[in-house]
Amino acid sequence: MEADEIMPSGRFTIAQLDLLKMFSAKIPDEDWEAIRDYAKRYFAQRATEEMDKLFEEKGWGKEKIEEWANTHMRTTYKTS
C-alpha cells in the first residue's frame, strides 16, 4: 500500500498527528488495550445514537428490523 493511498492529500490530519504522537510514547500493553476498548465503545455508542435518531425520524420500529432480517440484500456478483 502506497502512502498516497492512505493519505490522498499527502498530509496528515490533526487526528493522525495526535495518534502518531501517542504511538511514539512507551505505553504499557494493558493501557493500549484500555484505549482501544474505549475507542471501540465510543464509536459503537455514536453509531447506536445515529441509528436511534434515524429510526425516530423515519418512524421505524421492530417491524423494520424484521424486514431487514428477511430481505436478501447481498450484491450478486458475475462470475468470469
Tens of pLDDT, residues 4-59: 555 667 788 898 888 888 888 888 999 989 999 999 999 999 999 999 999 999 99
Q: What is the pTM of this model?
A: 0.60
Confidence at residue 23, expressed as pLDDT on a 0 to 100 scale: 81
Find out whether 12 and 20 touch, Cβ atoms under 8 Å: yes
What are the domain boundaries of the chain?
Answer: 3-69
* pLDDT on residue 1: 43
Residue 64 contacts residue 55 (beta carbons within 8 Å): yes
Residues 6+ apart with CB under 8 A from 60: 54
What count of other Cβ atoms lies within 10 Å of the Cβ of residue 26? 4
Residue 55 buriedness (CB in 10 A; 0-12 / 13-18 / 19+): middle
